[in-house]
Structure 1
Amino acid sequence: MTALPPLLDAAVNRLESSSWPEVASTWSRLTPTGFPVELATASQSTGPRGSGGLRWTAEVAGPELPEAHRLPRAAALLAASGQAPRPDLVARLVAAQSSTALRFGAWLGGRETTGRTPGLKLYAELPSLAAAPLPGHIEAAWYRLPTGTRPRMLGVEPARGRYELYARLPSVDAFDLLTFLYAAGHPAALAVLDAGLPDGLRRLSGRRLGLSMAWTADSPITLTLFVSARTLFPMAPDALAELAPALKRVRRLDVRSALVAIGLDPARDELSVSVGLVPAGPGRPLGSKSGRPATSTTSARPSHGPNHSPSTLG
């Protein structure tokens, strides 16, 4: 059996200790199958660049923990690893969540790369844009998005000083994003997508898309588009493997592709693509205690992430 990296192993152990084991592998909103953990293929650029390391997203506890308690639990797990998010930000998010019905509350993400200190990421469900204190340039770009765009969650990576705002887009044509892309510092994004995707921009036409804006204090905005794998390539799953070649290394595993993340970096004219992976069928054992890995990939990483992002579509 392949050993799981420490942070992922701890996440799986927490889920395997659920007091509701009969539903612990099928209840989550994180993945299409309800499985509470998602891995993703290594980021694959259409040019020479790329990044390795394992990335994952997981529920912070089994289904018995109420959604309203998941954000404080996730923040405590980050703090226990020496990567505490700002207390004032957590308090603000908890207060915002307390006034509304929640879909998932919070998820936990991890980045585990050989030779580097593992990093954790908090995904906090975002009831409204006002719940997240945003820098001026992020807020300005947000208001250039098409009418009907809805905030979904805020990602926080304390070790990197990185934040990520996730949104669900209404039904739009790619060209409806042009004003936003200019405001976000990505004037060439449509050309990059047209050159990098099979069939160009037509591949996104009519798809249900999510979007994220990521930033640090001293970096430009990095954008990611999200779309389900089945939606992006409904009749030709092998075409997705051409876009994300790391999928070819997991064909022998009983997994299915979940969410495709298409990254756009203003510093380069190429795409980075990652694909979320979950067990192919419901009711699979979670992992380490069952004598088999939950899901395994070579040089895996999350779909920015999630690390991840399924709620951007839901």
Structure 2
Amino acid sequence: MLTGLPALGSGLGHRTELAEAIEAHADRIDWLEVITERYLFAPADERERLRELVRRFPIVPHGLELSIGSEREPDAAYVQALAALVADIDAPWFSDHLCFTRTDRVDVGLLVPLPRTREVARRLGRRARRVQEAVGRPFLLENITYYVDLATPLTEAQFVTEVLEHCECGLLLDLANLDINARNHGFDPLEFLDAIPVERVVQVHLAGGVDGDGDRLSLDSHGAAIPARVWDLLAELVSRTRVKATLVERDQNFPDDFGDLLAEIDRARTALRPRATGERAGRVTAQRAGDA
């Protein structure tokens, strides 16, 4: 189901605070990602505004509440509405997170990490496959940040790989999340890329967060410029596989000058041009030597 997907280029997450600037600079933005839940059960006027955006941009819905990792199956009404939304805007794919956001009794309101076991990975893979079949478009699963790393049989990279082995879904690789997890939990992000099937990466998220200091953890805030470490990871990734789309995420602390975000979009677009193998090997060697 991942064959033949369009190369969308370099996009931006649509937020109310950025709507006017996006309209004014539509020629600088290749595509938009919208939050699924904003439009899932939205009134007719909201859906019409979304259709107006579709006339100018390819649109991909990105979900927060599918809760693919819950004990119960995803809510049938949610999946049905999701399928209708995806069809309505002719989205090339849709995405959500490898996590759970609710239990049988409580909406947690957070992206909660899952126990990294083969049993859970198999269950998630089968469930993701059913969701993809119900919606009828490719489904991308996104890696999340986690601040407590419980003892589990699988590493994060092994867990992601195991999930993908049990479905035909793609991967939305959030490189900011990868960078934060690597720094908070002391692993090499390049070894993470070595361990996952990078050929399944369809889309990338790019964002800035809050850097940790001493005993303080680094935080995923989507509220800062994209750091050099994340740009380096993007360069490394596109040297290994062809990425269909990059997405700049900004949810708070919006810059006064929208040109700052346009510059990040332009930089991501440039990065999508794959580098030569020799250049990649030299950079990887240099980075790993510096980390030693």
- Do these two structures clear the TM 0.5 threshold for a shared fold by scoring above it? no
Q: TM-score, normalised by structure 2?
A: 0.31
Q: Which one has a larger percent helix, Structure 1 or Structure 2?
A: 2
Q: TM-score, normalised by structure 1?
A: 0.30
